[in-house]
């Protein structure tokens, strides 16, 4: 059994590997069942549900058995606040090894001078990044001006002045309906409350980023932080241009690559499309297209590394040592040559899915894709995103509703459905299967009708034509059977 064969896909292990994993999971579930059988049952059911559905949520994937098993260990029992070699608790020598290995793999994989593996999630990674930038760009100069080495050295008046400075900095990020994320300055999110915030959008005709307009907005607003990256923008971004804009206005460029980190790691995005060489600070999750455990990373240029390293206790509590260990395993998998082939298939399959929609008359935001995301405008079917998402789920197609530019239905009901190809690519789907997926999705949406609520039109209620769910389930079952999830793994 080669390392490549184990790590190429979480779903294609050899017989010996599958037998070992099966024995491990059966034993673990038996132990769990002896304490709380409902949890064991829900865990088994989750695997069955994932095996039997077309998972097209862009932010989900399937981690390898090695990654999943790494999280279920006694590393969970150890408190390790602080950082490598500088903990607030004794006995952290093994956690130091775990965190060092995870950071080493992250640096090597992404070509980053510094990596921080502690964030529990993407929002935690972004909070660490925001406050590291504030500490470097605002707090440190203010302390130097006041002749103080630490905030504890300030008197109350100086402390109040520093707090006002920290709380009134400017952030420019991509708007939610254009494809940005909640943490890029959306007002109900903490990022929108921390900063004096403005958003940039996309061209109303093409749905594409307009770098000239973005530059003009930055010149006018003069943000401390320019945020790049997206969660629902189906195109590549020129991060060299974003860095030019940031440098011109004196901003720090922070890029959130949580969605497309796997395409960066897999060398699908290189040069100007690779954010790591261009951004001052880059954040990511370790699941999604990177195919690891749920968690976050921060990558930084040297001038920000000291501040990032203080993520705990700055905004984080004790790191999840068992998850950092799983990050290390996943990042080791992503450094295998086979991961590059996987990442390219993810992008190729997204194009096949987009083309499958377009040739069946569906409307796509930006008219296509060149990453892993396809964003479908469902208003052409007379539906809201909420209705479309629910009807697709009835037919065994798991997606998520998403805003589109200038969305008339808002962020809850939405007018779009976001599709992603990482998970089904992990299962082995190729261009032909994704074309068939497009056909099935259009079949469902064509046969879904909005229905009236008792008090008028409803943005949530719908009727799915008789036989549609059964027909689509049967068709998808054939593809799923041909590309099984965790083959050989039996519980």
- Alpha-carbon distance of 484 to 78, in angstroms, equals 36
Active site (annotated) includes residue 389: no
Q: Determine if residue 480 is labeled as part of a ligand binding site.
A: no
- Alpha-carbon distance of 324 to 103, in angstroms, equals 9
SS3 state at 318: coil
Task: Select which of 70, 285, 384, 468 is catalytic.
Answer: 285
Structure tokens at 2: 């080669």
Backbone φ and ψ for 100, nearest 5 degrees, come out as -65, -40
Q: CA–CA distance from 479 to each of 165, 231, 439 (Å)?
A: 57, 28, 13
Give bridge partners of residue 452 from the DSSP assignment.
457
Which helix H or strand E contains 198, and what residues bound it? strand 196-200
Active site (annotated) includes residue 79: yes
Contact indicator for 320, 290 with CB cutoff of 8 Å: no
- Alpha-carbon distance of 245 to 251, in angstroms, equals 8
Which value, to the nearest 10 degrees, does the dihedral of the CA atoms of residues 100, 106, 108, 112 take?
-110
Backbone φ and ψ for 181, nearest 5 degrees, come out as -110, 160
Active site (annotated) includes residue 256: yes
Contact indicator for 389, 447 with CB cutoff of 8 Å: no
Q: Nearest-CA neighbor of 298 among 263, 257, 240, 270?
A: 257
Task: Select which of 81, 244, 306, 348 is catalytic.
Answer: 81
SS3 state at 454: coil
Task: Select which of 170, 235, 288, 427 is catalytic.
Answer: 288
Calculate Rg over the CA atoms of the chain.
23
DSSP state of 136: I
SS3 state at 336: coil
- Alpha-carbon distance of 289 to 285, in angstroms, equals 9
Q: Nearest-CA neighbor of 353 among 260, 446, 262, 425?
A: 425
DSSP state of 406: T
SS3 state at 260: coil
- Other Cβ atoms closer than 10 A to 24: 15
Length of the chain: 491
Q: Determine if residue 182 is labeled as part of a ligand binding site.
A: yes
Q: Determine if residue 181 is labeled as part of a ligand binding site.
A: yes
Active site (annotated) includes residue 284: no
Task: Select which of 51, 294, 360, 461 is catalytic.
Answer: 294
Query: How open is the CA angle 211-347-252, to the nearest 5 degrees?
Result: 35
Q: CA–CA distance from 210 to each of 204, 213, 372 (Å)?
A: 10, 5, 21
Task: Select which of 99, 177, 256, 273 is catalytic.
Answer: 256
DSSP state of 138: I
Residues 6 or more apart whose CB falls under 8 angstroms from that of 473 comprise 395, 396
Task: Select which of 78, 79, 236, 306 is catalytic.
Answer: 79
Contact indicator for 328, 142 with CB cutoff of 8 Å: no
Q: Determine if residue 322 is labeled as part of a ligand binding site.
A: no
Give catalytic residues, as residue numbers: 79, 81, 256, 285, 288, 294
Q: Could you tell me which residues are annotated as the binding site for (6S)-5,6,7,8-tetrahydrofolate? A: 176, 180-182
Q: Could you tell me which residues are annotated as the binding site? A: 176, 180-182
């Amino acid at each position: 059994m080669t390392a490549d064969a184990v790590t190429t896909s979480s779903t294609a292990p050899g017989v010996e590997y599958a037998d070992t994993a099966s024995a491990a999971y059966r034993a673990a579930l038996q132990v769990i069942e002896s304490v709380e059988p409902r949890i064991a049952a829900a865990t088994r059911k989750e695997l069955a549900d994932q095996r039997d559905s077309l998972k097209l949520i862009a932010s989900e994937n399937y981690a390898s058995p090695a990654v999943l098993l790494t999280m279920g260990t006694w590393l969970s029992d150890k408190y390790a606040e602080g950082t490598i070699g500088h903990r607030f608790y004794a006995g952290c020598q093994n956690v130091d090894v775990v965190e060092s290995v995870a950071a080493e793999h992250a640096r090597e994989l992404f070509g980053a001078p510094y990596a921080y593996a502690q964030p529990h999630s993407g929002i935690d990674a972004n909070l660490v990044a925001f406050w590291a930038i504030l500490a470097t760009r605002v707090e440190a100069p203010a302390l130097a001006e006041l002749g103080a080495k630490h905030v504890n050295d300030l008197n109350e008046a100086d402390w109040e002045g520093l707090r006002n400075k920290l709380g009134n900095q400017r952030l420019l990020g991509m708007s939610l309906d254009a494809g940005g994320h909640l943490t890029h300055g959306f007002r109900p999110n903490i990022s929108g409350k921390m900063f004096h915030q403005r958003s940039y959008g996309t061209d109303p005709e093409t749905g594409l980023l307009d770098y000239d307009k973005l530059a003009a907005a930055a010149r006018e607003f003069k943000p401390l932080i320019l945020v790049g990256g997206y969660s629902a923008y189906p195109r590549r971004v020129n991060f060299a241009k974003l860095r030019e804009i940031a440098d011109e206005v004196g901003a720090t460029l922070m890029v959130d690559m949580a969605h497309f980190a796997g395409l960066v790691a897999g060398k699908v995005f290189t040069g100007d499309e690779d954010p790591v060489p261009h951004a001052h600070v880059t954040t990511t999750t370790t699941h999604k297209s990177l195919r690891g455990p749920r968690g976050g990373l921060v990558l930084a240029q040297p001038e920000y590394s000291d501040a990032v390293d203080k993520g705990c206790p700055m905004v984080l509590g004790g790191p999840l040592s068992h998850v950092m260990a799983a990050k290390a395993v996943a990042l080791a998998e992503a450094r295998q040559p086979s991961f590059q082939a996987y990442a390219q298939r993810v992008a190729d399959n997204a194009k096949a899915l987009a083309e499958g929609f377009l040739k069946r008359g569906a409307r796509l935001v930006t008219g296509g894709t060149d990453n892993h995301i396809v964003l479908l405008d469902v208003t052409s079917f007379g539906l809201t995103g909420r209705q479309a998402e629910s009807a697709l789920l009835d037919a065994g197609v798991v997606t998520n509703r998403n805003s589109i530019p200038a969305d008339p239905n808002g962020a809850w009901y939405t007018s779009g459905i976001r599709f992603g190809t990482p998970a089904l690519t992990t299962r082995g789907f190729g261009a032909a299967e994704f074309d068939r997926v497009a056909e099935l999705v259009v079949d469902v949406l064509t046969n879904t009708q909005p229905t009236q609520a008792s008090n008028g039109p409803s943005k949530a209620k719908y009727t799915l034509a008789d036989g549609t769910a059964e027909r689509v389930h049967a068709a998808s079952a054939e593809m799923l059977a041909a590309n099984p999830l965790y083959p050989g793994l039996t519980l």
